[in-house]
Amino acid sequence: MTCPICQKPSVPEYTPFCSKHCKNVDLLKWLNEDYKVPAEPVALDEEES
């Protein structure tokens, strides 16, 4: 398996990443909303508000 950030071989300690650096880069991408999970908007009923 290769690291999804830099394509180097993954290291068991940081799987699926190769290093702590790449693991943190991935986390920052999630926190900055660079990655998004597709979803459809949910309509809220007035009773749920």
The span from the CA of 28 to the CA of 6, in Å, is 15
Residue 46 or residue 10, greater confidence = 10
Per DSSP, the three-state class of 25 is: helix
Confidence of residue 48 (pLDDT cuts 50, 70, 90): low
The span from the CA of 40 to the CA of 11, in Å, is 36
| pLDDT tens sequence across 13-44 | 999 999 999 999 999 999 999 998 888 988 88
Through-space distance between the first and last CA atoms of the chain, rounded to whole angstroms: 45
Residue 43: predicted pLDDT:
86
Quote the tokens at residue 17.
Answer: 């990443």
Mean pLDDT within 1-7 = 97
Residue 28 C-alpha from the chain's centroid: 8
